[in-house]
Structure 1
């Protein structure tokens, strides 16, 4: 397989002409089969769909809100659990799986096929969005039904959209890890990066003043503050909301750009 993939000349790929419909169909098929693969691996998808909602339901049962709870008190646990839920598919979906594809030369084979550049990566991103959307909807529905949060329709849409776009930087982080580690190390490295971001960004509890500055280096902190603002809760903007958007966009762009260059150069 390796020799066949290597034997395909780049010039021959450039001569393949596809209509716009064929190109879109390739993107669709890549996303479809990537999603099917994720369903065949319950260890990947199920924890990210079940764990955030399950933990959220457990914690709201153990710690009911006071009758005069503020919007911030209502939103705090919800946003933390929701962000935990969307981080996983992006980081682990790109990290461990991409590393395995690199190590076993599947990525090299896909690059040699006459298909749009990056179609397989867009498929992974689409799957991360699907899992994130499912987590976001289930979290909002559960929180509203149990009267944990009280959002207007507009606020619900803003919170959902903020969280959905918030998948991007975590996909980029997983993308970066997966392009630089082996299949055996990727899951461990991703976990080492994933866990500190959960706890040092202040998603679940206020950080002690002595180490609260560490949150400024954690993308979840910025996404959490934007989500709280979208839901009308108290939030912390360093500068203003635009600064938070720029930070998340910069993380996404720089890591994705660096990784694309690396994959184009050495696979």
Structure 2
């Protein structure tokens, strides 16, 4: 146990050091969500009326970047360089490797969320009960895990160059088509139907439900969809992980 814990601490320190030395990762993942939220919730005329609802959806958007890019591109690059084979040679190293990346992702997701919450509260005038803020934070942080699985799937199956392109495409597609930037009710019916197959749509619906936003929502259906999608992603990731370890 001590060996595993020591390995985890070392891996976590290395992950954080690597992230802080990569401003090209930190600034977009932390800056883009809050910039988009400030634009659509504060700067545009009449945007303050929907500032609380946008907080729910942009919170999901905020946790996507650290998860998809932090795992997809990072793992793929480490595969290309042969580092992943070395780190997965021992069982404790494999656990520590994934655990450290999860911790780093949750840390950066938390920072991104706190920045957006502060902008929403002080800049957009969003006032919520403390219990709602806490539940919203829990929902947004839990929303990180499906995107971690997406990132791992990309990292275990793609080369470094391909992972960068695919991660960007998936990131933008999930955000735009899942209704994170623009309310889904403004989309054509065909796009609303397609959104039912995306985790971003269901995660944003769950966040809106916690917020108490108006509108009919089937929260049980949303939870079931996220659960089934997560299980499917977990199975795919486990298969890719198994192939990587046996390589």
Give me the TM-score of the superposition, normalised by structure 2: 0.90
Q: CA deviation at 1:132?
A: 0.7
Note closer, same or farther for the CA distance 1:150–1:196 as it changes in structure 2 (3 Å cut).
same
In structure 2, stretches of 5+ residues that fail to align are: none
Where 1:233 maps in the other structure, the secondary structure is: coil
Distance 2:157 2:232 in 1: 15
Residue 80 (structure 2) pairs with residue 98 (structure 1): no
Q: Which residue of 1 aligns with 2:205?
A: 225
1:264 is the counterpart of 2:242: yes
1:246 aligns with 2:224: yes
For 2:240 and 2:213, how far apart are their aligned partners in 1? 41
CA–CA distance in structure 1, aligned partners of residues 2 and 228 of structure 2: 32
Secondary structure in 1 matching 2:157: coil
In our comparison, the structure showing a higher alpha carbon Rg is 1
250-259 or 148-157, which moves further after superposition? 250-259
Over 3 Å counting, the alpha-carbon distance change for 1:203 and 1:235 in structure 2 is farther
Of 164, 168, 181, which aligns to 1:187?
164
Q: Secondary structure at the match of 2:88?
A: helix
Separation of aligned partners in 2, 1:133 and 1:235:
28
| 5+ long unaligned stretches in structure 1 | 1-19
Would you say 1:29 and 2:7 are equivalent positions? no
* Other-structure match for 2:92: 115
Please give the per-residue CA displacement for 1:105-157, whole angstroms capped at 9, x wherever unaligned.
11100012463433211111111111111111111121111243221000000
Contact 1:179-1:262 at 8 Å conserved across structures: yes
Are 1:161 and 2:138 matched, yes or no? yes
Query: Could you say if the C-alpha distance between residues 213 and 40 of structure 1 is closer, same or farther in structure 2, counting changes exceeding 3 Å?
Result: same
Q: 1:208 to 1:148 in 2, by over 3 A?
A: farther
Say which SS state the counterpart of residue 125 (structure 2) adopts: coil
Divergent runs of 4+, >3 A: none
More helix by share: 2
Kept in 1, the 8 Å contact 2:68–2:150? The answer is yes
1:188 Cα shift? 0.2
Q: Alpha-carbon deviation of 1:183?
A: 0.7
Contact 2:4/2:96 (<8 A) preserved: no
What is the Cα deviation at residue 218 of structure 1? Answer: 1.1
For 2:23, the equivalent position in structure 1 comes to 42
Matched position secondary structure for 1:148: coil
Equivalent residue in structure 1 for 2:174, among 197, 204, 228: 197
TM-score using structure 1 length: 0.84
- Aligned CA RMSD, in angstroms, stands at 1.8
The DSSP-based 3-state class of the residue aligned with 1:63 is: coil
| Distance change in 2, residues 1:40/1:151 (3 Å) | same
Aligned equivalent of 1:124, options 88, 98, 101: 101
How far is the alpha carbon of 1:56 from its aligned partner? Answer: 1.9
SS of structure 2 residue aligned to 1:234? coil
